[in-house]
Amino acid sequence: MRQRRLELRFEPKVLKQLRRLPPHEAERVLVALERLRDWPPGNADVRALAGEFKGLYRLRVGSWRAQFDVDLEAGVLNVLSVSPRQRAS
């Protein structure tokens, strides 16, 4: 599959969640999300979710998890939440 460059969009609550993180953790999460703009991801820790979360993906960055969806037709990666791994689901 050919890689495609996606636009990165954040839900308003995600920006609030990121501001609450320690600065170095927020930067790690943002850098990892920026790398996902080249879809499909290479060696990022990304998994497709199942069950009630089917159609969503999660990215694990240290002890943090970002949930997102991808709209390839629109060329957009929508970040839906960033939370500690224990509370991510």
The range of the structural domain enclosing residue 74 comes to 4-82
Confidence (pTM): 0.88
- Whether 35 maps to a domain, the answer reads yes
Q: What is the pLDDT of residues 15-61, one digit of tens each?
A: 999 999 999 999 999 999 999 999 888 778 999 999 999 999 999 99
Inter-axis angle of helices 23-35 and 12-20, to 10 degrees? 140
The count of domains in the chain is 1
CATH number for the domain that contains residue 45 = 3.30.2310.20
Q: Which amino acid is at 8?
A: L
Q: Which amino acid is at 65?
A: R
- Whether 89 maps to a domain, the answer reads no
